[in-house]
Amino acid sequence: MISRVKGTQDVLPARFTSKPDAQIERWLFVERAAREAFRRYGFEEIRTPIIERTELFERGVGSETDVNKEMYTFADRDGEMISLRPESTAPVVRAYSEHGLFNQAGLVKLFYIGPQFRRERPQKGRYRQFWQIGVEVLGQSDAPAIEAEVIEMLDWLLNELGITDTDLLINSIGDGQCRPAYIARLKEAIFERLGALCGNCRLRAETNPLRVLDCKVESCQAYLAELPRINESLCEPCANHFTEFRRLLAQRGIAYKIEPRLVRGLDYYMRTAFEITGASLGAQNTLIGGGRYDGLSEILGGQPVKGFGFASGVERLVMSVPDSKINLDATKPELFVACVGPESRDYAYALGRRLRAEGVTTIVDLEGRKLKKALAVANSIGARYSLIIGEDEIKSGSYALRDMTTGEQNNLRESEIVDTLKYRRLF
């Protein structure tokens, strides 16, 4: 039997799987809550293609070898290099420019929900095809109020999802003015302590000094604490921006931790960076990550556009939603139509059609089962009511409606059945 591709997963009805993160009911809950949050804050949905020119990501994400290695890339028939999107910020910025949205008055606030692809080794909360929801605020303003409002929205969303055990980590990573000088001083400080640091740190000292700050090795910690912190080396505009951002969070009563080690690897990220981490997710515990990327549009060859956004892994959100938030009964059918004898089948099909037109979730037994078997099926799929149609019922025009929970059974006319089910739905 052919099996699924490594690092992918099937999301299916909960009654077919006990793995919580593979249950469609959980996914729908998360997606609906996210859409509702985005709607309330005035975000509009955008759908960009799953494939883009490889160049978009090479320029947008950087052409470092690791990044390229982890993209699914292929040559199209005409030789053009195409990649499955590994993230959606660059595609959204591309679409923004391509459709001339910079001519709009005011901010353009977009959200997306969709699959992304990275060829990494799968582990808990990390897949090769994974879903992200995210927003991008694009326009001419870089007001800290944009950032605070997005985080306020996330605060509301997480609460709505019942995900309470989270930390908001924030940092400012400076801009083109202050960051280069900081990195130079950081490097210097690292090299002064090079002998005491672990092998990994020694390697990173040259290639990615910001990442040294992130080292988890016990023996490094004391030395890392002595390294200069970027948020203490900000130029005045960056420092003011960060101060205002923090003031606006405090004004909203949103708790945060300043995490000086929180960095972004890419050059176009600047100033505000943030992360929301969740408990009980294992090693991959980042639920949401975001930041400001004012330089990205120009790197892609577009006009100067200021941007701020976040992306969140749906799988990790789904894993974090408590069971109590999910109502598995909501998707169960309201009515199962069983028939006695072959003559009643055509009658049942027509009746089922009329009931559906009235808005009733109806499953008609198509297999011509004996009544006993039909009711057993109705029971196992969790139908709330069964309708029994036989010769007697057809003659009298009233059908036996059986409450599958209580076993109570009444003979009702068609209109009464519809009323009963609609009434029941109020509870």
Contact predicate 120/128, CB 8 Å: yes
| Closest distance to RNA from the beta carbon of 352 (Å) | 16
Return the residues of window 126-185 that contact RNA according to CB under 7 A.
none
Please tell me whether residue 372 binds RNA under the rule CB under 7 A: yes
Q: Which is nearer to RNA, 77 or 372 (CB)?
A: 372
Stretch that binds RNA, among 31-39, 159-167, 169-177, 405-413 (CB under 7 A): 405-413
Return the residues of window 351-370 that contact RNA according to CB under 7 A.
370
Please tell me whether residue 13 binds RNA under the rule CB under 7 A: no
| Closest distance to RNA from the beta carbon of 286 (Å) | 7
Stretch that binds RNA, among 47-55, 84-92, 161-169, 354-362 (CB under 7 A): 84-92
Q: By C-alpha distance, which of 424, 397, 422 is closest to 412? A: 397
| Closest distance to RNA from the beta carbon of 191 (Å) | 18
Q: Which is nearer to RNA, 9 or 331 (CB)?
A: 9
State the virtual CA torsion across 390, 366, 356, 332 in degrees, nearest 10: 110
Binding residues for RNA, total number by CB under 7 A: 58
Stretch that binds RNA, among 46-54, 228-236, 262-270, 352-360 (CB under 7 A): 262-270
Name the burial class of residue 400, with classes exposed (0-12), middle (13-18) and buried (19+) by CB atoms within 10 angstroms of its CB. middle
What is the C-alpha to C-alpha distance for residues 142 and 146, in angstroms, rounded to an integer?
7
**The token pair that represents 45 in the structure block:** 């949905």
Please tell me whether residue 65 binds RNA under the rule CB under 7 A: no
Among 11, 390, 417, 418, binds RNA (CB under 7 A): 390
Q: Which residues bind RNA (CB under 7 A)?
A: 3-4, 6-7, 9, 18, 57, 61, 66-67, 70-71, 86-87, 89, 118, 120-125, 200, 204, 208, 211, 216, 264-266, 282-284, 289, 340-341, 370-373, 375-376, 378-380, 388, 390-393, 400, 402-407, 409
